[in-house]
Amino acid sequence: MLQAGVCIAIFQYTAEAQNWLPAKGHQLPFFALHIMVVSFIVSEAVNYIMQLVKGRMSAVYG
C-alpha cells in the first residue's frame, strides 16, 4: 500500500510539474504530499491491525 501511494504521488507530482494535467478551478495544494501521508497512515493502520489479529490468535512469533 505504501509503495503504491508513493508511486502515485510521484506520478502526480511529475504530471503537475510538466503541466500534463489541465488546471482546474479548485485543486488541493501539495496533493502528492497528501497521497504519501494517507498511504503511510493506511499502511501503518493495516500493520497495527494485523499485529492485533496475530496477538489474538497467539501467532505473534509465527
User: For residue range 5-61, what is the model confidence (pLDDT) as tens digits?
Assistant: 778 777 877 877 777 666 555 566 777 777 778 888 888 899 899 888 888 877 656
pTM over 0.75: no
CA distances from 25 to 2, 13, 60 (A): 29, 18, 50
Check if the beta carbon of residue 28 is closer than 8 Å to that of residue 34: yes
